[in-house]
Amino acid sequence: MFNEARKLINTNAHIYIERLAEAVAIRSVSTDLSCRDDCFAMADLLHRWIEELGGSSDKVLVGFQELDDGSRYDLPPVILAEFSAGKPRQKPTVLVYGHYDVQPAAEADGWSTDPFTLSEVDGKLYGRGSTDDKGPILAWLWAIEIHRELELELPVNVKFCLEGMEESNSECLDDLLERESKGGFLSNVDYVVITDNYWVTTDKPCLTYGLRGLATFHCEVKAGTQTLHSGVYGGCIAEPMTDVIQLLAAVSEYGHGDIGIENCGRKSATPITEAETELYKGITFDAEAFRHEAGDVPALLGENEKEVLMNRWRYPSLSIHGIEGGYSGEGFKTVIPGAATGKFSIRLVPGQDGKAVEESVKAVLEKRFAELKSANKMTVTSTSSKAWLADPRCPLYQSGAAALLKVYGVKPDLTREGGSIPVAGLLQEKLGVETMLLPLGQSDDGAHSENEKMSKRNYLQGVQVLFTFLGEIARAHEERGDMPNGTPKRKGTLGRLKDIWYGLS
């Protein structure tokens, strides 16, 4: 059926692009309350398409936002939808997570085209949401549609969880996942696939099996209620900005490359294994191009490309993002802010416990603040979400790899990401099943930037990848049978794929 599907995708290409254009035209910007109706419209469109394709869809309201003035705004609904395979009892269920809200966009930001009009230029489909994450969501729907058009029974049950607040911290999603995972809509899920991610390069597909977590910190020091003139008050008061600088210096004193705080540094990361080291060998990564994309920084940390990737993916890092308070504009103002807040974060890795990181950082801040003997008041607030790591040797990844190999003719790279997508860890933990990031877009798609695009090739071949993947995961599941350790009962897909990972068996 692989070739039939490919032919059909080529025939339908203009329809898929028209539908993507229809989706991109809806300004479902979740951070902009004036676009809240558009978020609902986008949910309605997906809901209609799913039902037209024979799925069942539920738009679940999850709560509301309350502003300081007391006004309330309903949160966009989470779409919980399902496409049943013929014999649901014997077939596994794959849950697809995605989001239909988008980042803000305006032509004034530097777009070459109207961000809410899908524009094809040189084989690229430009438009806000094209790759993040409307394109990938739609590719899933067309992969299901092809089964219908080719009169094929779905090889697995496919469920969707599509939210409309991903770009706004997935507000209220936790509660829904908690509720639905316990005997609800999500209780019989066997595999989770997330297509909200990108290749490491522009030309080689990958599967992503790990993400760093994130601990965020706001460290505020307050003296008084107003901004003061340094000529009048300089020397007469303990300045909050000086305190904050000393505090930030204390947490970042190891400088670049490690973090000198207990539970936070490289030592607290899970030790690297030989198998993991092997994984890095074949990864296509151009450090020089990466350095250039970073705005021509003078150097990267890491002796070679493998070390740079490890710094990015498997080691913790501390970044200071800025200081709230004081004068941050151009030029000079001799102000003493009444309060200053240092903002920084630590990317967490497997082996690290978010709560322990938060506590250790707070202890360093408190110790340093005590040393300063400042009359001011310090307040620290923090949050943390764990790193996520899957075992890429499991059948889910082997199925993903098989699909990518068939469509692109190359073994995908096995990668991690330095960023954080908390829902991956959350779903893996709550549902207790194998979870995979299956990116359809390329490294240069510009997800949160101006001129966001998805290549026409990636969009259409993405449909083929997902169509193929559904067959592969069904076969892998069947081969795996009831073996508790996931070893396949007989040689089949997995037998063919066991050498797909460099050195892993």
- Interaction residues for a copy of itself, span 211-230 (CB under 8 A): 212, 214, 216, 218, 223-226, 228-230
* 316 binding a copy of itself? (CB under 8 A): yes
Piece of the chain touching a copy of itself by CB under 8 A; list 121-129, 185-193, 327-335, 388-396: 327-335
Region of 486 please: left (phi>0), alpha (psi -120 to 50) or beta: left
Give the three-class secondary structure for 223: coil
Of the candidate residues 82, 84, 233, 362, the single one contacting a copy of itself (CB under 8 A): 233
* 252 binding a copy of itself? (CB under 8 A): yes
Min dist CB 227 to a copy of itself, Å, is: 8
Min dist CB 212 to a copy of itself, Å, is: 7
490: which DSSP letter?
A: S
Of the candidate residues 21, 335, 356, 504, the single one contacting a copy of itself (CB under 8 A): 335
* 65 binding a copy of itself? (CB under 8 A): no
* 320 binding a copy of itself? (CB under 8 A): yes
Min dist CB 339 to a copy of itself, Å, is: 9
Taking a C-beta distance cutoff of 8 angstroms, is the pair 320, 342 a contact?
Answer: yes
Binding marks (x or -) toward a copy of itself, 434..463, rule CB under 8 A? ------------------------------
Neighbouring C-beta atoms of residue 259, cutoff 10 Å:
25
Of 309, 300, 293, give the one whose Cα is nearest residue 442: 293
Cα–Cα distance for residue pair 220/224, rounded to 1 Å: 12
Piece of the chain touching a copy of itself by CB under 8 A; list 51-59, 69-77, 80-88, 244-252: 244-252
Token couple for 231: 């000529």
Taking a C-beta distance cutoff of 8 angstroms, is the pair 311, 301 a contact?
Answer: yes
Q: Active site includes 151?
A: no
Piece of the chain touching a copy of itself by CB under 8 A; list 53-61, 133-141, 246-254, 450-458: 246-254
Sign of CA dihedral 166, 168, 169, 174: negative
Cβ proximity to a copy of itself: between 77 and 240 the closer is 240
Min dist CB 153 to a copy of itself, Å, is: 40
Q: Which residues pair with 341 in a beta bridge?
A: 220, 324
Site for a copy of itself in 337-356 (CB under 8 A): 337-338, 343, 345, 347
Cα–Cα distance for residue pair 409/402, rounded to 1 Å: 10
Piece of the chain touching a copy of itself by CB under 8 A; list 38-46, 51-59, 323-331, 492-500: 323-331
Min dist CB 221 to a copy of itself, Å, is: 11
* 364 binding a copy of itself? (CB under 8 A): no
Catalytic residue among 101, 196, 220, 239: 101
Catalytic residue among 38, 166, 196, 358: 166
Instruction: Tell me the C-alpha to C-alpha distance, in Å, between residue 218 and each of 111, 321, 323, 358, 362.
Output: 33, 10, 9, 11, 10
Site for a copy of itself in 25-44 (CB under 8 A): none
| H or E element at residue 495 | helix 493-497
Cβ proximity to a copy of itself: between 13 and 287 the closer is 287
Region of 325 please: left (phi>0), alpha (psi -120 to 50) or beta: left
Binding marks (x or -) toward a copy of itself, 369..398, rule CB under 8 A? ---xxxxxx---------------------
Site for a copy of itself in 392-431 (CB under 8 A): 417-420
Of the candidate residues 65, 242, 284, 428, the single one contacting a copy of itself (CB under 8 A): 242
Instruction: Tell me the C-alpha to C-alpha distance, in Å, between residue 113 and each of 14, 67, 143.
Output: 20, 33, 29
| H or E element at residue 94 | strand 93-99
Site for a copy of itself in 267-306 (CB under 8 A): 290, 294-302
Instruction: Tell me the C-alpha to C-alpha distance, in Å, between residue 39 and each of 96, 102, 168.
Output: 20, 9, 12
* 333 binding a copy of itself? (CB under 8 A): yes
Region of 70 please: left (phi>0), alpha (psi -120 to 50) or beta: left
* 70 binding a copy of itself? (CB under 8 A): no
- Residue showing tokens 């603040």: 369
Q: How far apart are the first and last CA of the chain?
A: 29
Min dist CB 337 to a copy of itself, Å, is: 8
Cβ proximity to a copy of itself: between 48 and 321 the closer is 321
In single-letter form, the type of residue at position 287 comes to: A
Q: Active site includes 166?
A: yes
Q: Please work out the total of residues on this chain that contact a copy of itself, with binding judged by CB under 8 A.
A: 81
Catalytic residues: 101, 166
